[in-house]
Structure 1
Amino acid sequence: MTHIWFIGFLSTFAGIGVGGVIATLINGFKRSIGTIYAVCTGLILGLLSFEIVPEAIQLGNWVVFALGFLIGVIIFELIHMGFHKNPVISKGSRKQHNLRIGLFLALIISIHNFPEGMILFTPLFMARIRFYLLFLLSIIIAVPVAIGAFIGEMIGMQNQLLWAFLISLTVGTIYMVTIKEILPESIRQSSNIYSLLVALIAFCLVGAYLISS
């Protein structure tokens, strides 16, 4: 048995860490925050559209994808309602708002760790979370990937419909976080036209890269 679980852990930890370092370097530039969110919106939607969604449909079918996507949306809404019922997080300052976004992303962060790492760490830095806690968070996020890789290696890919469903569920959750949390924050930090234009450019670039690769 190969040590694929360890490779999954290291790749996730490295991707999150690199994204966090970039977010740290540009965090001092307040005007850049809206651009970061817009770019990562385009990157995530591009990755979903050109890579993850086709993979889910290929493993399963449109019905499995639609069902998984819908359940992912429902999971997001349940988590979203839970956060808004919490007075400590749903009410208060911008710091609390940014912390909520970071926590949302920590729940659904997945294989494509570089852009997600940038998004995750940016609001947490703005919320003035200490660096050692962010380092610990990177490890915590990487551990489930290692466990999932280990289990996946054990059971193999025999049940393709199950994998397709799980991927689709993740797509639905990530999509909702991107559209309802990340993009609106970019618009708040800049403007509608600017955010949508930057997101569209990032979407097209990642699409062109994935299609040509």
Structure 2
Amino acid sequence: MTHVWLIGFLSTFAGIGAGGILASFINGFKRSIGTIYAVCTGLILGLISFEIVPEALHLGNWIVFSLGFLAGVIIFELIHMRLHRNPDLINSRKHHNVRMGLFLALIISVHNFPVGVILGTSEHSKFSLALLQALILHNIPEGMILFTPFFIAGIRIYLLFLLSVFIAAPVALGALIGEMIGMQNNLLWSFLISLTIGTIYMVTIKEILPESIRQSSNMYSFFISLIAFSLMGVYLIYL
């Protein structure tokens, strides 16, 4: 696979952009916002559970997975605490949505960097093709989640392009570094994958699902999330 950094960039850009376009179409139906967040919660958790976690465990073991996951959680919490120190960002509903969108953009960008490194180091393996598929699949719901608060806040759609580039750039940078390193180390791959799982899991549980509940209700959000989770599982296992 040549120019893996470019392929990784375009795959991420396409997934995020597609999710953003879907979010823009749905944005007019304000009552559906809680449903959107719930669906995306289920899709992301399903992708993690049925595709990414098994791959991390296959490449490494439970110890490596736990260490990587913990590192991802710590990264999330550090960014989360830093961004929540400024009370001026939560003085209005619009500021809340902008803050949430910026936070999601930052955390997704952080977790995309190790994905790029993995992609670069696995350039000549079948695993890189599976990773690209997972990259596109999970970036679509991430794009929907990311751009929904911006659209609710009334931010112009040209940010769709700029933010997609911002989020896809770490994949390209990580892939370039991975190509230069050229490390064929399954334990390293497992740790980096586990780190990305930790960050995106925390984003889903602490940011996306609570927003769905706020827009609807506990029972409705969990029910819709469960359906989306199950559908993603059926798709990944049987299709």
Shorter chain as normaliser: what TM range? over 0.9
Q: Distance in 1 between matches of 2:179 and 2:22?
A: 32
* TM-score, normalisation: structure 1: 0.94
Q: Distance in 1 between matches of 2:8 and 2:69?
A: 24
Do residues 212 (structure 1) and 228 (structure 2) align? Answer: no
* Cα distance change, pair 172–189 in 1 and its aligned pair in 2 (3 A): same
Partner of 1:80: 80
Q: Distance in 2 between matches of 1:11 and 1:173?
A: 20
Do residues 177 (structure 1) and 176 (structure 2) align? Answer: no
Give the one of 148, 156, 177 matched to 2:174: 148
Q: Distance in 1 between matches of 2:53 and 2:93?
A: 33
Give the one of 133, 144, 163 matched to 1:137: 163
Amino acid at match of 2:40: C
CA positional deviation for 1:101: 2.0
Partner of 1:96: 95
* Residue aligned with 1:129, SS: coil
Q: Distance in 2 between matches of 1:59 and 1:156?
A: 17
Q: Distance in 1 between matches of 2:193 and 2:94?
A: 32
Q: Distance in 1 between matches of 2:92 and 2:73?
A: 27
Amino acid at match of 2:170: P
Amino acid at match of 1:44: I
CA positional deviation for 1:87: 2.1
Q: Distance in 2 between matches of 1:120 and 1:96?
A: 15
Q: Distance in 1 between matches of 2:180 and 2:81?
A: 36
Partner of 2:38: 38
Q: Distance in 1 between matches of 2:71 and 2:61?
A: 16
Name the stretch that deviates more: 151-160 or 168-177: 151-160
Amino acid at match of 1:168: S
Partner of 1:55: 55
Partner of 2:65: 65
Q: Deviations over 1:77-136 (max 9, x none)?
A: 1111111111222x3112122222212221233422111000001011112222223311
Give the one of 167, 170, 187 matched to 2:193: 167
CA contact (8 A) 1:9 1:143 kept: yes
* Residue aligned with 1:131, SS: coil
CA positional deviation for 1:62: 0.3
Q: Distance in 1 between matches of 2:45 and 2:6?
A: 28
Q: Distance in 1 between matches of 2:229 and 2:179?
A: 32
Name the stretch that deviates more: 136-145 or 96-105: 96-105
Partner of 2:11: 11
Q: CA RMSD in A?
A: 1.4
* Residue aligned with 1:31, SS: helix
* TM-score, normalisation: structure 2: 0.84
Q: Distance in 2 between matches of 1:146 and 1:43?
A: 25
For structure 2, the 5+ residue unaligned runs are: 113-134
CA positional deviation for 1:157: 4.8
CA contact (8 A) 2:83 2:103 kept: no
For structure 1, the 5+ residue unaligned runs are: none
Amino acid at match of 1:188: R
Q: Distance in 2 between matches of 1:138 and 1:113?
A: 10
